[in-house]
A and B are shown apart, each in its own frame.
Chain A
């Protein structure tokens, strides 16, 4: 059986790396994709199959990314690459200036053939300083982060209850985790999920 990783690798080596929308392969279930991951490198050291940084430019299907540690990455988006930006998106949603995390296969020439690219994704914890039907002001380590409710996208998870678009149960002063998409060069985030313990 051909694994997702083998398919990505052959797509890149074969030169047939056309860019497609994230959902073109149907469900891109990460648990299924990562269950067949290869042996991992040593704990505590940088993972060669992972990249972090901001997009400097885009050439064809390759993202040129400068890491926060000043390491430069070339990230190839191929058939089957899953892209996320507040939800599954197509390659045209990737913009210079976006922050990203990417996981894939590091090729011999140094290019990362991407299985998954998460654009501007943040996962921050803090307490709710103020809340309206449209915004949550979050105190995150003393920083004020303005989190926007996005109709049709934002949901709340109250412990193990099903996700709900109704955020009205959230209260000022309570602690939450907000998963969302950062608006580059601002202190603002679009909300994907608010995790609340109650």
Chain B
């Protein structure tokens, strides 16, 4: 597992793909609980666009998400940077660009998702509904994945 290897000076998504959990979130002032969500830290987030939230978009973002508390030192990546997220439950992948800060990795430290015997731990990326639904049904809510630079 990648989780046991990174250090604060070792930006893992530059060296190799990283495994973690992927979920989805709404943005862009839509219906229901999304009515007051806004357009995210980059001001561009929209549920219908192929975008994602990344835990290290700025110092302020990092101070909220704190993936280091789960053992990760993710690279600083800013608005518009592209990642590829590949589902470990079937292999579908999607390339998205950063539109927000998140997820709050430290609040779910140690959480693990599996597809059969294939598992991944800790929340490292959140996709918009448009992006997540390209690799899994929205009704799954959470999936193990692999993240790489696109």
Binding site for B on A (CB under 8 A): 30-32, 34-35, 37, 40-47, 50-54, 67-69, 82, 84, 99, 101, 103, 116, 118, 120-125, 140-141, 143, 145, 157, 159-160, 175, 177, 179, 182, 184, 187, 189, 192-193, 195, 197-198
Question: Are the C-beta atoms of A31 and B111 separated by less than 8 Å?
Answer: no
The contact of B136 among A34, A140, A157, A184, by CB within 8 Å, is A34
Question: Are the C-beta atoms of A67 and B141 separated by less than 8 Å?
Answer: no
Binding site for A on B (CB under 8 A): 23-26, 28-34, 36-37, 44, 46-51, 80, 82, 87, 89-92, 94-97, 99, 103-104, 107-115, 119, 129-131, 133-142, 150
Q: List 14 A-B contacts (CB under 8 A).
A: A30-B133, A30-B140, A31-B137, A34-B133, A34-B136, A42-B50, A43-B97, A44-B51, A45-B50, A50-B133, A68-B28, A103-B130, A160-B114, A160-B119
10 closest residue pairs by CB, A with B: A30-B137, A31-B90, A99-B31, A197-B111, A68-B30, A179-B141, A44-B97, A182-B32, A175-B107, A43-B97
Question: Are the C-beta atoms of A177 and B51 separated by less than 8 Å?
Answer: no
Q: Which residues of B contact A46 (CB under 8 A)?
A: 46, 48-49, 130
Chain A binding surface, main DSSP class: strand
Question: Are the C-beta atoms of A103 and B133 separated by less than 8 Å?
Answer: yes
The contact of A123 among B24, B36, B48, B130, by CB within 8 Å, is B24
Question: Are the C-beta atoms of A31 and B50 separated by less than 8 Å?
Answer: no
Decide yes or no: A43 and B47 within 8 Å by CB, A31-B92, A118-B138 being known contacts. Answer: no
